[in-house]
Amino acid sequence: MKFLRNKIDQLKKPFGKGEKWEKLAPAINALDTFLYVPNHTTKKGAHIRDAVDLKRTMITVVIALIPALIFGIYNTGYQYLHQLNGGDVAFMDAFMHGLWKVLPIIVVSYGVGLAIEFIFAIYRGHEVNEGFLVTGLLVPMIMPVDIPLWMVGLSVAFAVLIGKEAFGGTGMNILNPALVARAFAFFAYPTYMSGNKVWVSEASKVDAISGETILGSLAAGHDVHFSMFDMFSGAIPGSIGETSTLLILVGAAILILTGVGSWRIMFGAVIGGAVMGLLFNLWGANALMSFPWYEHLIVGGFAFGVVFMATDPVSAAQTTKGKWIYGILVGFFCIMIRVFNPAYPEGVMLGILLMNVFAPTIDHYVIEANIKRRKKRLAASKQLKTA
Amino acid sequence: MSNDIRIRKGLNINLKGAAEKVVSEAPRVKTFALKPTDFHSVTPKMVVKEGEKVKAGDVIFYSKYSEKIKFVTPVSGTLSEVRRGAKRKILEVVIEADSQDVYREFGVKNPAQMSAEEVKAFLLESGCWPFIRQRPYDIIADPEDTPKSIFISAYASAPLAADIEFTLQGREEDFQAGIDAISKLTTGKTHLSVAKGSSSFLTGVKGVELHKVSGPHPAGNVGVQIHHIDPVNAGEHVWVISPEDVAIIGTLLRTGKFDATRTVALAGTEVDKPQYYRVKIGSSVRALVDRSDSIDIRIISGDVLTGDKITVDGFIGFYDNTVTVIPEGNDYRMFGWLPFKDNNIPSMHHTSLSWLFPNKKYTVNTNLNGEERALVVTGEMEKVMPMDIYPMQLLKACMASNIEKMENLGIYEVAPEDFALVDYACTSKIEAQDIIRQGLDLMIKEVG
């Protein structure tokens, strides 16, 4: 191992301080630190540090995404082959078809995003932040499978440039970058992002294939011919990674057990979504409203959005109390927009983006309460002195 | 009267190399130093020149902007060197010690018969004033103030820190005399806190309000105790003093001599025999750690969370009663960022298995275990901050130099040491203590 280390140190020499390619150091460091945790020691402050770092945190999220991703790849092929040929579909056949479709999207997403991240790191002279490891995988998982690759690249570029770097980079963005990418694609190219032709591979080309989602069917007044088990296990049309509530729950368990994702936000959102669904059930004016509240929670992007999108610590509320409020409101608005949106029968993206915008306001009021307590204490102590 | 304080948030970091409860006399060292850098925001004005003889207790320098505050030598000898750094800033005033100490006589006093003004004058003259520090700002107390209360924490919860009840053994009368004098300085109460379940003489000290504290670190931090007992509001002052310094003041009152003896815990995995030693303040650390290969070890004057890095030729800090020696962590770890890898490194985060074994004792080094990043993860700082304060928001206010916000979020109630665990726990490896220190300095400059 020593040999490899020496080799890398030798390779890095021209990137050192005062050397020829000093400016490019962040790029080479980003690659090196993926092999080795660097030999940096503490300079100021506490002399010992926790074993955790941002890489470890972000990789944990990527690991939590993997079960849903693998199922998403399989489901892409399954939906296509099942509708085309009917009957049972061999796992490998479905998986290979899905991989052929999904892998290029992932490659484009990472390629474009990381290129921009590296350029900005070099330009600004800071190290490459690991946040895009997650964003780069989230983007493909929330896109319809037939989206043209150039659209993926453009959306990612927009999200990283306007959604993140324009605000000052990682940690400063207001909106979840992956959702910004989806929102950009949604508003810029609506025909590729909605309707009943995009949610299954090749649905727009082959007449025998219907690309309609369950929510789409409900909005159009069609019958839903999927069982609740299909909805839960994920054998339904939809964005690549969003369909399997079961495997998203596996991811949620990983996030909660490792403490990386906020359980408060997840539970809050489930409570908020359930209550809103229940209220609509009571009202019951149309098919979407009378769709059972518990099925609202397992179809569409709700589970995926709540577990992986709403919990993004940068764009969510940051205070403990704020996380509860934020979570509940996310659930609330996701279902409300889903039911009321006349153009598009899904509201998770817009619901979470809306709450991203309001998260700082929620935090503001939570912190204001703390400030009020402090001011009250000061007033009480002043009164004591004059009395 | 006793009040219990139970702290729930925080973190005990269990480390190997705790000092065994045995006290030895350290071999007499030749060189001592007063480090003006130990006294934050003090600009020293030298009184003694290089080459002059001094007795233990003689004034070496005083504070340029508060001339009453004097700093005295802990030993008798010759002032051999004034070491300066950038812009001729004085870093160390080195004293070459005589083989036997000769003391300057201050006269025996009976604290019971002294007025507050007399106590103050006596402490200032004898060089004991720097022992008293104030909150807010964590600097030496202003002699013109009268604090609303005085706090003494005899509960050391930091990793490998010296057990104060052990180091104070046998100094019962000195401690009581010190308390009798110091308690006159406030119009309010003098608070003494001990670990819950303590049975030492400290529980029977007269003239104080006793508090029994339990819970994980930073429960022993005096700032945390102040927050829960008598929080500092804007415009108020609280003074703090460490228990051993109370005993030093007591000795001075009872004997008339400034006997700057400290019982220091020498701890850490790089120490052959971790135990307690009796040394004078400012002693060269070479007496305790005699290693020439100082390359791969780190010597810390203080505990691993708040102490200062010193070299093997360095000196123990004025306020420190712990010296910790741990290995430097200047090595690479392949794929060390993978979750659940390297579980021998302590972690409070659940992305490592080490949090499952809170009672296991760990060997730690000084590796940063990552690189500095933007603040992303939320909620982790709150877990180690047992105060009604939002740590991340306060840190951001300090970074932005937003004075009004800092004041609103409670800057007056914190000291850098209260953010030591934030340093430790932060995923993004920010220097929280440094940011708070700069924030406090800004407040001193702008608000005063």
B440 backbone dihedrals φ, ψ, rounded to 5° = -65, -40
| Single-letter code of the amino acid located at B320 | D
Judgement on whether residues B121 and B228 belong to the same structural domain of the protein: yes
Judgement on whether residues B46 and B18 belong to the same structural domain of the protein: no
* Concatenated DSSP letters of B411-436: GGG--GGGGHHHHHH-TT---HHHHH
Pick the CATH number of A56-369 from 1.10.1760, 1.10.10, 1.20.81, 1.10.3430: 1.10.3430
Note whether B443 and B137 are within 8 A (CB).
Answer: yes
Asked if B329's CB is within 8 angstroms of A39's CB, the reply is: yes
Q: What is the mean pLDDT of chain B?
A: 92
Residue A99 to residue B407: CA distance in whole angstroms: 56
How many residues are present in chain B? Answer: 448
Taking only the tens place, the pLDDT of each residue in A137-188 is 999 999 999 999 999 999 999 999 999 999 988 889 999 999 999 999 999 9
In chain B, which among 325-364 make CB contacts under 8 A with chain A? 326, 328-339, 342, 345-352, 354, 364
pLDDT greater than 90 at residue A267:
yes
Provide the whole-model pTM.
0.93
Which among A43, A60, A169 has the least Cβ separation from residue B351? A60
Note whether A258 and A63 are within 8 A (CB).
Answer: no
Taking alpha carbons only, the member of B387, B405, B390 closest to residue B446 is: B405
Which among B324, B339, B382 has the least Cβ separation from residue A60? B339
Identify the closest residue of chain A to B405 by CA–CA distance: A371
Residue B56 to residue B105: CA distance in whole angstroms: 9
The CATH number given to whatever domain includes residue B62 is: 2.40.50
Q: Among residues B307, B328, B349, which one ends one of the domains?
A: B328
* Cβ burial, residue B163 (10 Å; 0-12/13-18/19+): buried
Judgement on whether residues B269 and B408 belong to the same structural domain of the protein: no
Residue A46 to residue A48: CA distance in whole angstroms: 6
Determine what percent of chain A is predicted with pLDDT higher than 90: 64
Average pLDDT over residues B389-413: 95
Judgement on whether residues B260 and B313 belong to the same structural domain of the protein: yes
> How close does chain B come to A104, measured CA to CA in Å?
26
CB contact B111 to A (< 8 Å): no
Average pLDDT over residues B386-409: 95
Degrees, nearest 5: CA angle A71-A72-A73: 90
Note whether A142 and A241 are within 8 A (CB).
Answer: yes
State which H helix or E strand residue A80 sits in: helix A54-85
Average pLDDT over residues A354-365: 96
Note whether B432 and B419 are within 8 A (CB).
Answer: yes
Lookup: tokens for B1:
């009267």
pLDDT greater than 80 at residue A386:
no
Average pLDDT over residues B233-241: 93
Provide the 10 A C-beta neighbour count for residue B28. Answer: 15
Q: Which domain covers residue B341, as residue numbers?
A: 330-363
**ipTM greater than cut 0.95:** no
3-state secondary structure of A257: helix
Instruction: Give residue A217's pLDDT.
Output: 85
Asked if B331's CB is within 8 angstroms of A46's CB, the reply is: no
Lowest mean pLDDT among A103-107, B34-38, B119-123, B198-202: B198-202
> How close does chain B come to A202, measured CA to CA in Å?
38
Instruction: Give residue B292's pLDDT.
Output: 64
Residue carrying the six token digits 């045995």: B22
3-state secondary structure of B339: coil
Taking only the tens place, the pLDDT of each residue in A7-26 is 888 888 888 888 888 888 88
Residue A315 to residue A356: CA distance in whole angstroms: 5
Taking alpha carbons only, the member of A65, A180, A169 closest to residue A116 is: A169
Distance in angstroms between the alpha carbons of the first and the last residue of chain A: 73
Instruction: Give residue A203's pLDDT.
Output: 81
Instruction: Give residue B294's pLDDT.
Output: 54
Judgement on whether residues B322 and B334 belong to the same structural domain of the protein: no
pLDDT greater than 50 at residue A128:
yes
Judgement on whether residues B180 and B291 belong to the same structural domain of the protein: yes
- The crossing angle, in degrees rounded to 10, of helices A177-188 and A131-141 is 40
State the sign of the Cα–Cα–Cα–Cα dihedral B342, B347, B351, B355.
positive
pLDDT greater than 90 at residue B356:
no
Judgement on whether residues B257 and B386 belong to the same structural domain of the protein: no
In DSSP terms, which residues pair with B151 in a beta bridge? B191, B240
Q: Are strands B275-280 and B261-267 parallel, antiparallel or unpaired?
A: antiparallel
pLDDT band at B1 (very low <50, low <70, confident <90, very high): very low
Asked if A172's CB is within 8 angstroms of B434's CB, the reply is: no
Per domain, the residue ranges of chain A are: 56-369
Judgement on whether residues B307 and B354 belong to the same structural domain of the protein: no
In DSSP terms, which residues pair with B239 in a beta bridge? B134, B150
Lookup: tokens for A241:
């990674």
Asked if B424's CB is within 8 angstroms of A49's CB, the reply is: yes
| Single-letter code of the amino acid located at A95 | F
For chain A, where are the E strands, in sequence order? 36-37
pLDDT greater than 80 at residue B291:
no
Mutate to test the interface with B, among A1, A34, A52 (most CBs of B within 10 A): A52
Judgement on whether residues B53 and B80 belong to the same structural domain of the protein: yes
> How close does chain B come to A372, measured CA to CA in Å?
9
A34 compared with A52, residue with greater pLDDT: A52
Judgement on whether residues B312 and B352 belong to the same structural domain of the protein: no
Residue B3 to residue B171: CA distance in whole angstroms: 24
Judgement on whether residues B65 and B42 belong to the same structural domain of the protein: yes
CB contact B426 to A (< 8 Å): yes
Which among A33, A51, A262 has the least Cβ separation from residue B354? A51
Number of domains in chain B: 4
Residue B101 to residue B99: CA distance in whole angstroms: 7
* Concatenated DSSP letters of A277-332: HHHHHHH--SHHHHS-HHHHHHSTTHHHIIIIITT-TTTS--SHHHHHHHHHHHHH
Instruction: Give residue B288's pLDDT.
Output: 86
Judgement on whether residues B340 and B416 belong to the same structural domain of the protein: no
Residue A308 to residue A250: CA distance in whole angstroms: 12
Note whether B260 and B74 are within 8 A (CB).
Answer: yes
CB contact A28 to B (< 8 Å): no
Asked if A171's CB is within 8 angstroms of B349's CB, the reply is: no
Q: Among residues B277, B308, B328, which one ends one of the domains?
A: B328
DSSP B233: P
DSSP B335: T
| Single-letter code of the amino acid located at B308 | D
B410 backbone dihedrals φ, ψ, rounded to 5° = 100, 35
